Structure 1
Amino acid sequence: MTPLQGGRSTPSLEQIPFSRPHSPHKELVLGFAGLGAMGYPMARNLATRLQSPVIAHPIYVWNRSRAKCESLQEEVGKTHIKIADKPEDLALNCDIVITNLANDEVVKGVFEKFVAALKEAQSTKNKIFVETSTVYPTLAGELDTLMSSVPHCHLVMAPVFGAPPVADAAQLIVVMAGDYRSKKEVAHLMIPAMGRKVIDLGGNLEKAPTFKLIGNSMILGSLEILAESFTLAEKSGIKPTQIHGLVKDLMPAPILDAYANKMVHDLFDGSKGFAIDGGIKDSTHIRKLAAEVNSPMPALDTAHQHLLTARALHDSKKLRGDPVYETLDWSSIVAGTRVASGLDGFDSKKHSTAGPVPE
């Protein structure tokens, strides 16, 4: 990567597999829907790192809870952020609209509002809609049918890899499928302002969410193995910190190190990571996809059950009024393996410091 002004870098062809688009005749108006744990830093980085004449300022943001919009506006200023009262405002006022939403039902509902507003306004402007959430592949086809009913509207499926801290650092990996010209336009907005690399999967929109589910299956499967190994260590009288050291020596991947650290130190705060509800939604999608294509994934089946166990345990603690965190991170999957082994799910300080050591 070559240096740019302000300390940023020019992405290479390896990072963006598209040539740079022609300079627009006018500044593009950008909108962002969904300011959750991922969407908030993504929108903030786009608002603060993209400059005129590429993007007009301020960019429009909408969230179901307006407080998130107000928080972002207060953080970066009214010159960067304009709050939309409803999602329809994004569709009508913006050239490019990016969404990052909780689940498939919410995504479809928001896109239906986009389309209804555009049809009512009889819009004929060129617009690109970019969906970055983790959804089931067939939803991409449903969204494409919706958007194709409006002239000159294009859909890009662009799910992202990376936890909230990765989004905060603008180091996400973006997977794209859809119309080539639209992907090119979007890619050069997102990289390096929001992420570090684009993976192009061609024109079939369903390929991007499929790829994302496969990637998440690798992460979730790794979490299950870590959880089982840490639990075995505790039951065998070996300190989990020693196993964490082995993870760093044997498999020095930042993502494994980060999740291992959460498990060892009971750092299950979902507000600072990937919430367990999202993990269960993703594991449900992965298992459904695996069943449809006759590709058994027994490790994912087990991981799914341990996520459900962790959530059930947490819900019970909520009912008793003593939850450790308001929302669990999916690293709390280890609670499932712990409880199955007779250990406390969320508080490793309650575990015996020296379990039985096999002869």
Structure 2
Amino acid sequence: MDPSPSTPDAPIPKLGWIGLGSMGQAMALNLQTHLSHTNSPPLHIYNRTAARGQPLLAIGAISSSSIQALLQAVDICFIAVSDSNAVTSIINTILEVPAADLHQKIIVDTSTIAPGTSAWAQGCLRERGASFVAAPVFGASPIAKEGKLLVILAGADKAVKAVEPFLVGVLARKTLYLGEDAAKASLLKTTGNFLTAGFMELIAEAHVFAEKTGLGSDALESLVEHQYGPLPFAMSKRLTGGFYLPKRDERPWSDLNLAVKDVGLGVECAEKVGTRLPVADLVLSHLEEARRYGEVNGRALDSSSMYGVLRERAGLGFESEVVRRRDGGDGGLSGL
């Protein structure tokens, strides 16, 4: 059953969306599809590159000329952008909306940002009579397309309740609510990114070990599937399927540059409280090495591309056999 966007006595809220990268576009498409199916008002969208909005306009969304124009037309506005700087810029632009037009609006940020940025945004918007809900998501773009993300929520209870009908069954498989402090959601997302990156590093190392010893990837992947569960298995398939090094004309499932930013956030948060994340330091060094490889070879890389770095260090070559076959043997890629 589709979640109900309102009670019989309450008007259906008008929704907006800012940011149409790989994740944002996938989530916005699911949301507009849901709004169409429930005869709700269409989604208002804004993105700096207007062409990214074409798939949404084709299914009924409405384009806004500016962030301010979008805010004045909606009750709830979702944000999906790349980093804290982008969120800060958008919030500052939102704060330029006249106070009377901003009153009781709800801003929902799905981005992965520093906890301090979430706390700042929540405080600034509260002063203007608006609400901020931190709602960072777990899942790469294929999971976003399926509407099966895990959403971490933090914000005022009333605002969260207003947003929830548009999450589970639309964008997400489940939500976790952490209370009113928006910074807690960003902190849990940062912690989760550290865990994810560590798991990926471990699985990548194991696959290189399996190839070098002659055990083979198939045997290892079978063990991962049946002993360690669906998340490590999905990570393993990301490597063995060649997705760590996308085709030249394809976007990565999860951009390497964002992974560097996300793991770096964990390192920074740890330093601020007087501790360290040694595994994160190791992962970050491998991601930085992969980024240099991508720059030299003009390739967009996935966040799992530490696998290629580990392969090269073991004398196997950045490209796996699966990648070479997929690309027709047209590697010609230089080393680091």
The normalised TM-score by structure 1 is 0.83
Cα distance in 2, alignment partners of residues 118 and 280 from structure 1 = 37
Paired residues of 1:130 and 1:155 also in contact (CA < 8 A) = yes
Structure 1 counterpart of 2:16: 31
1:147 counterpart (113, 125, 128): 125
**Secondary structure in 2 matching 1:133:** coil
Instruction: String of CA shifts for 1:132-151, please: whole Å, max 9, x gaps.
Output: 1011100012112321332x
Alignment map for 1:42-61 (pairs within 5 Å): 42-50=27-35, 55-56=40-41, 58-61=42-45
Q: How many residues align?
A: 320
Classify the secondary structure of the residue corresponding to 2:133. strand
**TM-score (ref. length: structure 2):** 0.89
Structure 2: which amino acid aligns with 1:65?
T
Q: Structure 1 residues 349, 194: closer, same or farther in 2, change over 3 A?
A: closer
User: Is 1:110 the equivalent of 2:90?
Assistant: yes
Mapping of 1:1-359 within 5 angstroms? 4=1, 8=2, 22-23=7-8, 25-50=10-35, 55-56=40-41, 58-74=42-58, 76=59, 80-119=60-99, 122-123=100-101, 125-150=103-128, 152-253=129-230, 255-267=231-243, 268-269=245-246, 271-318=251-298, 323=299, 327-348=300-321
Deviation at 1:350, TM superposition (A): 9.8
- Deviations 1:154-175, CA, capped at 9 Å, x for gaps: 1111111111111111111111
Counterpart contact for 1:172–1:196, Cα < 8 Å: yes
For the residue of structure 1 that corresponds to 2:10, the secondary structure is: coil
Unmatched 5+ stretches in structure 1: 12-19, 352-359
Q: Counterparts of 1:251 and 1:264 in 2: how far apart (Å)?
A: 17
| Sequence identity (%) | 25
Residue 16 of structure 1 is matched in structure 2 by: none
- Aligned partners of 1:32 and 1:98 also within 8 Å: yes
Q: How big is the shift at 1:289?
A: 1.0
Distance 1:330 1:36 in 2: 16
Cα distance between partner residues in 2 of 1:248 and 1:184:
37
CA distance in 2, matches of 1:45, 1:266: 27
How well do the aligned residues superpose, as a CA RMSD in angstroms? 2.2
Match of 1:330, SS? Answer: coil
Task: Give the Å deviation of 1:73.
Answer: 1.4
Unaligned runs of 5+ in 2: 325-336
Question: For 2:9 and 2:289, how far apart are their aligned partners in 1?
Answer: 52
Deviation of 1:291 (Å): 1.5
Seen in structure 2, the aligned counterparts of structure 1 residues 30 and 344 have a Cα distance that, compared at 3 Å, is same
- Residue 124 of structure 1: how far off its partner (Å): 5.6
Instruction: Say whether the 8 Å CA contact 2:149–2:173 is kept in structure 1.
Output: yes
String of CA shifts for 1:308-345, please: whole Å, max 9, x gaps.
11111111112xxxx4xxx2111111112122223311
